[in-house]
Structure 1
């Protein structure tokens, strides 16, 4: 069975997503019901909702919305990675409010579409350090050339658990291995960074990717981080750009088919349950 650490629900009747206007293929509602139907069919037994970069004023509204989904009978959602703005003056108060919400397991500030210097700001870095000693993780979504910025954050806050999204967002379609390959080996030297096997079908050629075109990127990620520091994510509905949920689950099972049962169990569920204390 699988714990999906990267589910996005998009509900355009409830929330505003400014970035969707630039991605026509995703610019519609992708409901929890649509996800849950397919997720149960492929063996997903639990999911963490990942923030969807809603309008800043709606960050806490999104968390409340996800809480409503999680509260449904037999819901797959067992936690939320909430949006945040570490560069903002209100982060400390925001963090305190989330401490009392058991649904919130961690935070993410999307960085791969932001200026490189955002994460280098004094306030941003001071606020990331505030996560030390809490239960909260921090997801890093950065481009390959930004991986040194992610390393700097990990070094700055060694007691914070970071998760590198989407195998470091490599350019699979363009087959650009450097500096991604070298940077992945370097960031993996930080024991407080784990990697998420997710998103890769969206970065490959949507019409022609195969298992063999995904394999070098996925295998290098696992080789760098090891089986105790990798988790799996669907990145639904972004994965629909490269074939959809069932296709990505099937591809993952095939990519790791020759691995031991214990290794697959860590990737698919064990590490996630331990990292976010999911039971």
Structure 2
């Protein structure tokens, strides 16, 4: 049985998508400079984008820092769209009332974890004591933490991961390496170092096309990066993510990104393909699928 057949029966998982409503919330990004996606993006449009693929489930990831209401809005939308199986919220880890906020959000079965957009902070933000107090709360509550990193953040991560070995963390977008410029050596060293710190650290193979040449990216551009991620994290700790609709800035549809991922994992066995396209995300986020 082909991996696509298994996906058609059970449904694969997209571990990373976004929606937004420009009238409801004040987003720092996208802006008018991101013309094609500077508009309202609905869950209906997301679900429609899955057509033609065996992906049937998606995990929403925050667009706003420190805004629990965004999570509640998405979870309310999801009542009409059962394809949305999880929500990763933008919650302020330094908030003195963090535990109460998270306890409230955990009443919703779709709420799975937290992310913070580090681009808006000093690079050392992830090392701060008040942030670590927040990560301790996540660990105690059994929630997850998405690490939105760029290469200059990576040197700070081994110590963080080692300090919270029971906290499930996942690196988004393979830490946004400089694919367009074909810079890979230091990124490879840094990713190898963080991968060995904890079996609870995962990596999303997502957001690839936006780090490449938007107008002329090819499958070959990503091969050495994805091969390295598979080598240092293994097939049990990686997962597929579309980063839809951000990927469409490069004129890549959901289908295009899904097909690209399949080409990049073509050497894996059927069983391992099912892991990275379904089981790992299901287990990491405790999805009800």
TM-score (norm 2): 0.90
Q: What secondary structure sits across from 1:159 in the alignment? A: coil
Q: How many residues align?
A: 275
Contact 1:199/1:235, CA 8 A, preserved across alignment: yes
- Cα shift at 1:64: 1.6
> What secondary structure is seen at the aligned counterpart in 2 of 1:147?
helix
**8 Å contact kept, 1:142–1:150:** no
SS in 2 for 1:228: coil
Q: Structure 1 residue 251: deviation in Å? A: 0.8
- Which secondary structure does the structure 2 equivalent of 1:131 belong to? helix
Matched with 1:124 is 131
**Which of 252, 258, 266 matches 1:257?**
266
Give the deviation of 1:246 after TM superposition: 1.2
- Which consecutive unaligned segments of at least 5 residues does structure 2 have? 1-6
The answer to whether the 8 A contact 1:87-1:118 is kept is no
Deviation digits for residues 113-144 of structure 1 (CA, Å, limit 9, x no counterpart) = 42112122211111101122323110001111
> How far apart, in 2, do the equivalents of 1:18 and 1:131 lie?
25
- CA-to-aligned-CA distance 1:20-75 (integer Å, 9 cap, x gap): 22742332222212111121322211111111126x4xx22211211122111x52
Q: Would you say the 8 A contact 2:68–2:91 is kept in 1?
A: no
CA contact (8 A) 2:123 2:152 kept: no
Instruction: Supply the distance in 2 between the matched residues of 1:272 and 1:133 (Cα, whole angstroms).
Output: 21
Once the two structures are overlaid, the 10-residue window that deviates more, 242-251 or 220-229, is 242-251
Aligned match of 1:160 in 155, 162, 167?
A: 167
Partner residue of 2:150 out of 131, 143, 153: 143
Aligned residue in 1 for 2:22:
12
Query: Within the alignment, does 1:276 sit opposite 2:285 as a pair?
Result: yes
Secondary structure, aligned partner of 1:13 = coil
Q: Counterpart of 2:140 in 1: which secondary structure?
A: coil
Instruction: Give the TM-score, by structure 1 length.
Output: 0.93
Instruction: Quote the Cα distance in structure 2 between the aligned partners of 1:48 and 1:107.
Output: 12
Choose from 235, 247, 251 the match for 2:256. Answer: 247
Q: Which deviations, in whole Å up to 9, do the C-alpha atoms of 1:157-202 show, x marking residues without a partner? A: 1110000000111110111113211001011102221000100111
Moved over 6 A (4+): none
* Contact 1:141-1:166 at 8 Å conserved across structures: yes
Higher mean alpha-carbon deviation, 86-95 vs 117-126, is at 86-95
Deviation at 1:204, TM superposition (A): 0.5
Give the direction of change, closer, same or farther, for the CA distance of 1:88–1:213 in structure 2 (3 Å limit). same
Q: What is the SS of the residue equivalent to 2:156? A: helix
